[in-house]
Amino acid sequence: MELLLPGLGIIVWTLIAFVIVLLILKKFAWKPILKSLNEREANIADSIATAKRVKAEMAQLQSENEALLAKAREERATLLKDAKETADKMVADAKNKAKTEFDKILADAQVAIQQQKNAALTDVKNQVGNLVIEVAEKVLRKELADKAQQEGYIKQLTAEVKLN
């Protein structure tokens, strides 16, 4: 049973050794250990605070990004609207210009047609006048006593004129 129960001398010497080790640890190791624990605790607290601050900044940046995106979408919509209005205005201006050009070309064509018509009528009148003068001249050259002969001769000249 002696092996199971330690002797009083071993207990005293173990207690003295424990107190000496405790005093040595208190003098040399306890303060650095507490200091490193306090530093680690402060470091962890700083890390947590930094993480919270970063999280808040990220939330703020995200809200700013959303605001910028909304503003960009609004500007894009405005630009598209302005571009559409400009395109519609350009199309309307082009249509008006084309209509003006068409009206001008049509008026010029009508004037040209009228001039050609007048020239053709003048030419026809001149030809008819010349034919009348020729017929009258031929009738006067040939003096016929008989009226029936004159009418026959005029019909003959008319037939010749139609053939020319």
In a domain, 25, yes or no: yes
Question: Are the beta carbons of 139 and 154 closer than 8 angstroms?
Answer: yes
- Secondary structure letter of residue 4 according to DSSP: T
pLDDT of residue 164: 47
Residue 59 lies in a domain: yes
Q: Which residue has the tokens 């700083």?
A: 46
Asked whether residue 155 is assigned to any structural domain, the reply reads: no
Q: Which domain holds residue 30?
A: 8-120
- Here the tokens at position 19 are 């107190």
pLDDT at 135: 78
Whether 132 maps to a domain, the answer reads no
Check residue 27 and report its DSSP letter: I
37 belongs to a structural domain:
yes
Domain membership flag for residue 76 = yes
160 inside domain: no
Please give the structure tokens belonging to residue 108.
Answer: 């010029």
Alpha-carbon torsion angle 137, 141, 142, 143, nearest 10: 110
What's the pLDDT score for residue 159? 79
| Cα end-to-end span (Å), the chain | 167
**Cβ-based neighbours of 123, under 8 Å, separated by 6 or more:** none
- Count of domains observed in the chain: 1
| Full pLDDT tens readout for the chain, 164 residues | 566 677 788 889 999 999 999 999 888 888 888 899 999 999 999 999 999 999 999 999 999 999 999 999 999 999 999 999 999 999 999 999 999 999 999 999 999 999 999 999 888 888 887 888 787 777 666 665 567 777 787 788 777 776 54
